[in-house]
């Protein structure tokens, strides 16, 4: 099993949490290789992560990107998202030749079970396996030529056919596509993956990338948002919320932010205390915003259209405000 993470210093602590949970729940794997795509992570943090992997008898290999912007021959704007997210698009070109398949995990994930079933998923003629994110609104999908009815996928967990990416020169296609979009997309890497690999994406069960804020959505709401979500059964969606294999702390209600009320925060906190970042304080200054976000989650249960309106009205403003900081 080949696992890939991407990070810089800012996400190293969260990567450590995810890595510890991954290694603890997959100790039975005969072979488990971990690769870190580093966007300038310090040697100190790299060594901490290597030592953590060593505690489980595993090895973490670092692939350094340095200044990632130098890999683009045009200006890019990641819209407030960290540029390290773009490293996953280069996976096929930087991973060792013997790596034919790889499982990418975002740093803000926690693994709560064996990934054997996910790893052995048959991709067929598809080039990647991903979990659907049906709540992305129509205007964003239209930019990458998707209709409201079509599936849009989250890039937090990727089962990548690395051999296929190399064979079909997918990295070049990613770069060409992003250039045609003027280096500006709502979710830089995610939109690029959806745009280039449309029709070649295997839908994975939501338990392998369960977004914590989906706890507040009803299955019927997600189907109404995107008809393609019918491919996921109601039973699969319910199972994901009750017994997620991979939790993804997507959205602003992060467990490392002071005042958050994330229902699944206990898992992050549990594994944090087992990493070299044990005792790291929560980020302060957003306590009121966390209360508002929690309130919005409760409203979602009762009246989903209200959340949709709030997201469309304020979502991009919040993202762009991060870029200005």
Domains and CATH numbers, the chain: 2-324 (3.90.550.10)
Name the packing angle between helices 12-25 and 265-272 (round to 10°).
Answer: 90
Q: Which one is predicted more confidently, 323 or 145? A: 145
With 80 as the cut, is the pLDDT of residue 315 above it?
Answer: no
The Cα–Cα gap between 145 and 181 comes to 11
Share of the chain above pLDDT 90, in %: 77
Task: Give the Å distances, CA to CA, from 296 to 2, 88, 131, 229, 310.
Answer: 38, 32, 24, 23, 9
The Cα–Cα gap between 287 and 253 comes to 11
The Cα–Cα gap between 74 and 133 comes to 29
Helix (H, G, I), strand (E, B) or coil at 15: helix
pLDDT in the model for residue 78: 65
Q: Is 121 exposed, middle or buried (0-12, 13-18, 19+ CB in 10 A)?
A: middle
**Contact (Cβ atoms closer than 8 angstroms) between residue 171 and residue 87:** no
- As given in the structure block, the two tokens for residue 48 are 């901490």
The Cα–Cα gap between 242 and 9 comes to 32
Q: Give the mean model confidence (pLDDT) for residues 111-128.
A: 97
User: Binning pLDDT at 50, 70 and 90, where does residue 325 land?
Assistant: very low
The Cα–Cα gap between 165 and 127 comes to 7
With 70 as the cut, is the pLDDT of residue 268 above it?
Answer: yes
The Cα–Cα gap between 83 and 80 comes to 9
Mean pLDDT of the chain: 91
Secondary-structure breakdown of the chain: helix, strand, coil percentages, each rounded to the nearest 5: 50, 15, 35
User: Binning pLDDT at 50, 70 and 90, where does residue 304 land?
Assistant: confident
The Cα–Cα gap between 146 and 149 comes to 8
| Alpha helices, H only, the chain | 12-25, 43-55, 91-94, 116-119, 138-143, 162-167, 170-180, 188-196, 219-225, 234-242, 265-272, 287-302, 304-324
The Cα–Cα gap between 12 and 91 comes to 19
pLDDT in the model for residue 294: 93
- As given in the structure block, the two tokens for residue 174 are 């990613």
| DSSP summary character for residue 63 | E
pLDDT in the model for residue 84: 80
Per-residue pLDDT tens digits for 62-109? 999 887 777 777 777 766 677 787 889 999 999 999 999 999 999 999
The Cα–Cα gap between 2 and 61 comes to 11
Q: What's the predicted TM-score (pTM) here?
A: 0.93
Other Cβ atoms within 10 Å of 82 Cβ, number: 17
């Amino acid at each position: 099993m080949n696992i890939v993470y991407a990070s810089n210093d800012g996400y190293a602590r969260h990567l450590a949490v995810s890595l510890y949970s991954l290694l603890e729940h997959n100790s039975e794997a005969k072979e488990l290789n971990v690769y870190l795509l580093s966007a300038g992570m310090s040697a100190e943090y790299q060594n901490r992560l290597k030592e953590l992997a060593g505690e489980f008898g595993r090895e973490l290999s670092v692939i350094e990107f340095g200044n990632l912007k130098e890999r683009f021959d045009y200006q890019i704007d990641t819209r407030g998202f960290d540029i390290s997210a773009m490293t996953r698009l280069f996976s096929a070109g930087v991973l060792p030749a013997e790596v034919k398949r790889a499982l990418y995990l975002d740093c803000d994930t926690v693994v709560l079970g064996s990934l054997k079933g996910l790893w052995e998923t048959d991709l067929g003629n598809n080039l990647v396996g991903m979990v659907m994110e049906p709540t992305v609104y129509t205007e964003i999908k239209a930019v990458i030529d998707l209709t409201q009815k079509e599936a849009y996928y989250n890039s937090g967990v990727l089962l990548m056919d690395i051999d296929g990416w190399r064979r079909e020169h997918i990295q070049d296609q990613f770069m060409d596509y992003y250039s045609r979009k003027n280096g500006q997309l709502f979710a830089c890497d995610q939109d690029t993956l959806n745009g280039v690999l449309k029709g070649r994406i295997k839908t994975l069960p939501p338990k392998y990338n369960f977004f914590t804020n989906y706890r507040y959505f009803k299955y019927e709401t997600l189907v109404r948002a995107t008809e393609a979500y019918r491919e996921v059964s109601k039973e699969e969606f319910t199972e994901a919320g009750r017994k997620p294999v991979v939790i993804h702390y997507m959205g602003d209600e992060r467990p490392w932010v002071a005042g958050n009320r994330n229902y699944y925060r206990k898992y992050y906190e549990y594994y944090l205390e087992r990493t070299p970042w044990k005792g790291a304080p929560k980020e302060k200054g957003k306590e009121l915003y966390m209360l508002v976000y929690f309130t919005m989650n409760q409203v979602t249960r009762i009246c989903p259209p209200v959340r949709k309106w709030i997201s469309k009205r304020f979502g991009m403003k919040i993202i762009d405000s991060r870029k200005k900081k």
